[in-house]
Amino acid sequence: MEKITFEQLQEELYYEKLANGLDVYILPKRGFNKTYATFTTKYGSVDNHFIPLGKEEFVKVPDGIAHFLEHKLFEKEDGDVFQQFSRQGASANAFTSFTRTAYLFSSTSNVELNLETLMDFVQEPYFTEKTVEKEKGIIGQEITMYDDNPDWRLYFGLIENLYQNHPVKIDIAGTIDSISHITKDMLYECYNTFYHPSNMLLFVVGPVDVEKIMNQIKENQAKKPFESQPEIKRRFEAEKKEANEGKKILEMNVQTPKCLLGIKALHHDQSGMEMLKNELTTNVLLDMLFGKSSVNYEQLYNEGLIDDTFSYDYTQESGFGFAMIGGDTSNPEQLVARLKEMLFAIKNGGLTEEALLRTKKKKIGGFLRAVNSPEFIANQFTRYAFNEMNLFDVVPTLEKMTIDEVKRVANEFISEERLSVCQIMPKKK
Amino acid sequence: MTVISESVKEMEGYNLHIVKTEKFKTNTLVWKMKAPISKEEVTLRALLPYVLQSSSKKYPSSTKLRAFLDELYGASFYVDLAKKGDYHVISFALEIANEKFLSDKTPLLRIGMEFLAEILTNPNVANNAFEQDTVEKEKRTHKQRIQSNYDDKMKYSSTRLVEEMCKGERYALHVHGEMDEVAGITAQSLFSYYKKAFSEDELDLYVIGDVSEDEVAAIAHEKIKFSPRQPKLVERSEAVAEREVKTINEVQDVKQGKLNIGFRTNIFYGDEDYYALQVLNGIYGGFSHSKLFINVREKASLAYYAASRLESHKGLMMVMSGIEHRNYEQAVAIINEQMAAMKKGDFSEQELAQTKAVIRNQLLETIDTARGIVEILYHNVVSHQNITLDHWLEQMERATKEDIVKVAQKIQLDTVYFLTGQEAVQ
């Protein structure tokens, strides 16, 4: 077991790679009541074209299957895993993102028992035609719920504009039609391919006895006969550099228009420190441009173009990434025009050392606030690890960042051809 | 075991609550002000915190104010409005890094408290009025804030249920006030309301973190002072007599129907029956092992979510679910059947035990966040009680099947609200 100490943060992290390939991390948090554990596979909605375990040919699976599988893993022959967790005083959940499926519990008692349940339910699938059919109604309602949600439609509308081929443009839950084609055999095929321990990471954070928990995990895993698995072969069609479409307007039953401007990532092949630097620098740039202490923010607010729903963010994964800027606005066209002016103006100067220093301080404080949260630590650490980055490199990387790096990113990243806009407008009566 | 140790000190015009804990890397300050919610003042009161947080004498523009917060290691500062029973509660929350975890040792807590004092006591005012521009800008944003409730159909249907169910009661008022009232607010009228609120509201300051109690009290004493006051209280409303169930169907262009059902429990925070009511809500609809989740979602496959929650200071229980329009009758029938089961005592010892375990877990988890600690402690201020979390947990564990069945008898179905995309078929 390896121990990594973060002195400034006064945290310790323990790590071991088990014989079956599973990465296990434990971060003890003293003073906390709850233990939070996530068991995550590097398998999300974008992994829809791959060679199934033991086969030779690529297959394409229905949209929404990773999320469907996440739902179905909770059901067992003898009942529902939610029930078992709550009998053990825990609260359990799961989520599927573009690139990950995570199963988790939090509990303030019976931690070992709950951890055992977590590992076992994820590693013992039980799918039947009957239960698969039943789930279609439930997920159908989840999809319909999102269909009525204007922020969700705006977000996916923009991704669809940015990407032509990459499956990031497909809604994580799929559509009512796409999930109607899912069968139990397909679920097993996806499960067997992506849920091997060598494709997974287990993170435990809370007031735990590290040694004891690590031993428990090892014993649990040693009991299960996993054969070593070859590397998973995924396929993604080539994606052009430019945004696929420049603009889209969706009409919905809303009173206030919504508008997001997006910029497609320039680098689709980064990982590790290179990716961390690029992602962090782009986020610092956005913060200097549009943070609440920026002149731009003040102007947009004074001009009545934004309100407190205004936000901005940049995320990058292997194969895709995007910045998104916007929120509710009474005048989407004018907001877009002003945002573009501000984005392109910054390429000609205006990024100051002073503003960078302030943003760095803000981000460092934000990180301290975030590590109060066991959920943040476990989920973000896993996301970083799957991209060969280390979450705890964030603060040192921020500290080292120079204004020239920010300027370089501004110059290469902001580009008309990779920019797109999506708007939600009130339906005309 | 003492799960939270809160020290409360009487200060000038407010109470200071300190929870010393080493588990956070930040210190959290929350200023709360509470007054009875009223039709005449609700919109003024809802706008006030947004104007106060945008500037002050020392930080005359929001850019200057926000730049100051960024310099303080990105202190997060925001305001929040809530309805707690018949009261309208304003919160100002500041979360600031503990310099223990920074290489820079600037005393951030003191600076943070001074900042909070500045926001509360030194607003950007001239000639008995807030700055005109700021007020106009915030009015515009506030209108959008009120309007946005319509665009989020889950929120919208919850608000509509309360509006219909509590028609004529204070509780029917909206937390952000009324659209029609915003335009009439002036920089003068808002400033007079500011003076009124700070001289009449019940005020509380919470400080959570690895702090020294004496130091916090000394800074608070030095920087934050108001005149003494006798907080205004609202008499607990009479139990609403059982009446015919109100049914409301509203048609809008929506794909999913939103079903919201309101029950009257007539049981309030801290009442003898309150703890059994918590367990009842847990068995009925509070969790993913509850009757609503199992029967509406897992068995009938009608919904993605089906849950219930309590409004502890108003004696209400609300059920919410998103369903297909055509499944309305079936969903209502299941929800009612499950309530009938509660009244008959049709639940197992296992359901009882697991619900208690999950409630305990949920509370202990809540106090792993600073804001969670404040929200739990503030129930005592709202209800003018002094219930420790230990006592709360003990009473909850004690609730028996008989207690729960007794409580279930008191629960009355009041209003069924359905937001649907389809006109009723005759």
Contact call for A365 and B73, based on CB within 8 A: yes
How many domains does chain B contain in total? 2
How many domains does chain A contain in total? 2
* A26 and A150 assigned to the same domain: yes
* A344 and A403 assigned to the same domain: yes
Q: Does residue B303 lie in a domain region?
A: yes
* A119 and A196 assigned to the same domain: yes
Q: Does residue B404 lie in a domain region?
A: yes
- Distance of residue B236 Cα from the nearest chain A Cα, in angstroms: 35
Neighbouring residues of A408: CB distance < 8 A, sequence distance ≥ 6: none
Among the candidates B223, B258, B279, a domain finishes at B223
- The CATH number given to whatever domain includes residue B363 is 3.30.830.10
A129 as an active site residue: the answer is no
* B367 and B322 assigned to the same domain: yes
- What integer is the mean pLDDT of B25-45? 97
Q: Which of A138, A139, A365 sits opposite B97 (nearest CB)?
A: A365
- Distance of residue B106 Cα from the nearest chain A Cα, in angstroms: 13
* A201 and A286 assigned to the same domain: no
In angstroms, the CA B81 to CA B71 distance is: 27
* B71 and B192 assigned to the same domain: yes
* A155 and A200 assigned to the same domain: yes
* A26 and A161 assigned to the same domain: yes
Q: Does residue B229 lie in a domain region?
A: no
Among the candidates B223, B254, B271, a domain finishes at B223
- The CATH number given to whatever domain includes residue A351 is 3.30.830.10
* A51 and A198 assigned to the same domain: yes
Q: Which residues of chain A have pLDDT under 50?
A: none
**B-chain residue closest to A152, CA distance:** B152
Q: Does residue A415 lie in a domain region?
A: yes
Give ipTM to 2 decimals: 0.92
Put simply, the chain B residues between 175 and 234 with a CB less than 8 A from any chain A CB are none
Give the model's confidence band at B423: pLDDT under 50 very low, under 70 low, under 90 confident, else very high. Answer: low
* A213 and A331 assigned to the same domain: no
Q: Does residue B311 lie in a domain region?
A: yes
* A266 and A218 assigned to the same domain: no
Put simply, the chain B residues between 277 and 306 with a CB less than 8 A from any chain A CB are 287-289, 293-294, 297-298, 301-305
* A335 and A402 assigned to the same domain: yes
What tokens appear for A131 in the block? 């239960």
* B18 and B162 assigned to the same domain: yes
Q: Does residue B239 lie in a domain region?
A: no
> Which of the residues A67, A82, A141 would you substitute to probe the B interface, choosing the one with the greatest number of B C-beta atoms within 10 Å?
A141
Contact call for B74 and A109, based on CB within 8 A: no
Q: What is the predicted pLDDT for the residue at B425?
A: 45
B24 Cβ under 8 Å from any chain A Cβ = yes
Q: What is the predicted pLDDT for the residue at B125?
A: 96
Q: Does residue A236 lie in a domain region?
A: no
CA dist list (Å): B152 to A146, A304, B256, B387, B421: 11, 22, 12, 36, 15
* B333 and B207 assigned to the same domain: no
* B213 and B254 assigned to the same domain: no
- Distance of residue A368 Cα from the nearest chain B Cα, in angstroms: 6
Q: Which of A292, A308, A368 sits opposite B25 (nearest CB)?
A: A368
- Res. B426: pLDDT tops 80: no
Q: The sheet that has A101-107: what strands, in order across it?
A: A2-6, A11-17, A23-28, A200-206, A35-41, A101-107, A90-96
For residue A18, which phi and psi values (nearest 5 degrees)? -80, 165
Put simply, the chain A residues between 105 and 144 with a CB less than 8 A from any chain B CB are 106-109, 134-139, 141-142, 144
Q: The sheet that has B26-36: what strands, in order across it?
A: B6-10, B14-20, B202-209, B26-36, B87-97, B76-84
* A394 and A337 assigned to the same domain: yes
* A107 and A195 assigned to the same domain: yes
Write out pLDDT tens, residues B202-256: 999 999 999 999 999 999 999 999 999 999 999 887 777 778 999 999 999 999 9
> Which of the residues B23, B101, B155, B325 would you substitute to probe the A interface, choosing the one with the greatest number of A C-beta atoms within 10 Å?
B101
Find the domain containing B175 and state its range: 6-223
Q: Does residue B235 lie in a domain region?
A: no
Contact call for A369 and B71, based on CB within 8 A: no
Write out pLDDT tens, residues B263-316: 999 999 999 999 999 999 999 999 999 999 999 999 999 999 999 999 999 999
Find the domain containing A54 and state its range: 2-222
Contacts of B389 in chain A (CB under 8 A): none
